[in-house]
Amino acid sequence: MLVLDEPTNHLDLVAIEQLEQALETYDGTLLLVTHDRRMLEAVRTDRHWRVEAGVVSEL
């Protein structure tokens, strides 16, 4: 299992793109916590959850 909490913080665009490419080939469980909408769109996931005002909802 890979846990990434705000992985794009402090990364430049080139590094973010490299991370996205690496995640494309990752064949395992990924827990990705991010506010980066671009990252959310670029990384293929099976489920999305939103946490807002202490409430968790599946998208």
Q: Single out the residue of 58, 59, 7 nearest to residue 30, CA to CA.
A: 7
Determine the pLDDT at residue 8.
Answer: 95
CATH of domain 2-58: 3.40.50.300
List per-block mean pLDDT (blocks of 10 residues) for the chain, which spans 59 residues: 95 96 93 92 91 94
Predicted pLDDT at 19: 96
pLDDT of 39 reads 92
Q: Which two tokens stand for residue 19?
A: 């991370």
Q: Looking at residue 49, what is its pLDDT?
A: 94
Q: Where are the domains of the chain?
A: 2-58
Output the pTM of the full model. Answer: 0.79
To which residue do tokens 């990924």 refer?
A: 30
